[in-house]
Amino acid sequence: MSSKTLILVTGANQGLGYYAAQQLAATGNHHVLIGSRDVNKAKKAIETLAADDSVKVSASDLTPLEIDVNSDSSIAAAAKHVEQTYGKLDILLNNAGIAQQQEAAADSSGPSLRDIYRSHYETNVFGAAVVTDAFLPLLRKGSAKRLAFTSSGLASLELAAKPNTLYSANNYPIYRSTKTALNMIMLHYALSLESEGFVVSAADPGYCATNLNGNSGFKDPRDGAKELVKSVVGEKKDVHAVMVSDDGVVPW
């Protein structure tokens, strides 16, 4: 394992993170920490990955890691565990995210608008920022110095400003604004860590069928996960300080 790059994928127990972990581990070049807020879900995901004959992955290249991105103590414990076990981290993929209801119920049943905004920003923005900050000292000790974020084409202000398109801003205001904020955080790290040799990127996987959207996406998550993998291991000239998609770089 020592010759393999060590990658942490948050929210890797299902969906895009799961398939990104699969594709990365299948190369044989990486050891992937399957991040999950429930370690049993991570263990189950590793069992499923190892049993999937369509993509050969060795269970020895996968390790569960409990990490709830909403919890500072969980993040700190995960970083401490990685430090004590490996002494470094080569690559971090901030992937955990949520997309739930986008407006409060008119009859005030259920969460308030403020609470809905809070929960989305808590996971999608604050979570990724705090995880990055906690693991940065370990990434600095790593050999790859790669940092990636799972964003979304919905984050794009340029695309959102075009009316009557798939990406126009008249829907998903809460979710999409978290991803716009996430892109700014990505850009901050891309520019501020460049002199240390870091490559920092974001990915737009496209609209993929996962639990996030009740499996309504029209794209296979395996294909969407390829964009995550590109942001993680793609060449610097193609991925650094931009959001990549299968259509190329997504406009801000």
Ligand X SMILES: NC(=O)c1ccc[n+]([C@@H]2O[C@H](COP(=O)([O-])OP(=O)(O)OC[C@H]3O[C@@H](n4cnc5c(N)ncnc54)[C@H](OP(=O)(O)O)[C@@H]3O)[C@@H](O)[C@H]2O)c1
CB of 10 to ligand X, least distance (A): 6
Distances (CA, A) of 55 to 5, 8, 52, 229: 20, 20, 6, 15
Token couple for 56 = 């050969």
- Catalytic (active site) residue 86: no
Q: Of the ranges 49-57, 65-73, 164-172, 239-247, which one interacts with ligand X (CB under 6 A)?
A: 65-73
Determine which residue in the list 63, 123, 183, 245 makes contact with ligand X, applying CB under 6 A: 123
Cross-strand pairs, 78: none
| 16 lies in the site for ligand X, by CB under 6 A | yes
Total binding residues for ligand X by CB under 6 A?
30
CA 173 to chain centre: 20
The distance of closest approach from Cβ of residue 31 to ligand X in the complex, given in angstroms and rounded to an integer, is 19
CA dist., res. 181 & res. 80, Å (int)? 27
Q: Taking the complex as a whole, how short is the minimal distance between the CB of residue 6 and ligand X, in angstroms? A: 19
Binds ligand X by CB under 6 A, chosen from 43, 48, 70, 194: 70
Q: How far is the CB of 73 from ligand X (least distance, A)?
A: 13
∠ at Cα 209 (72, 6), nearest 5°?
45
Q: What type of residue sits at position 200?
A: V
Q: Does position 96 bind ligand X by CB under 6 A?
A: yes
Question: Which part of the chain contacts ligand X (CB under 6 A), choosing from 25-33, 82-90, 94-102, 139-147?
Answer: 94-102
Judged by CB under 6 A, which of 4, 41, 118, 145 binds ligand X?
41
Identify the residue among 97, 183, 230, 239 touching ligand X (CB under 6 A): 97
Does residue 95 bind ligand X (CB under 6 A)? yes
Say if CB 36 and CB 12 are below 8 A apart: yes
Q: Which sign does the torsion angle of CA 229, 233, 238, 242 carry? A: positive
Report whether 41 contacts 14 (CB < 8 A): yes
Of these residues, 86, 175, 189, 226, which one is catalytic?
Answer: 175
Please, what sign has the CA dihedral across residues 23, 24, 27, 33? negative
By the rule CB under 6 A, 180 interacts with ligand X:
no
- Provide the edge-to-edge strand list for the sheet that holds 248-249: 62-66, 30-36, 5-9, 91-94, 146-150, 199-203, 243-245, 248-249
175 is catalytic: yes
- Residue closer to ligand X (CB basis): 96 or 136: 96
In the complex with ligand X, the residue whose CB is nearer, 64 or 127, is 127
- What amino acid positions are annotated as catalytic residues? 175, 179
Residues engaged in binding ligand X (CB under 6 A) = 10-11, 13-17, 37-38, 41, 68-70, 95-99, 123, 127, 150, 152, 205, 207-208, 210-213, 217
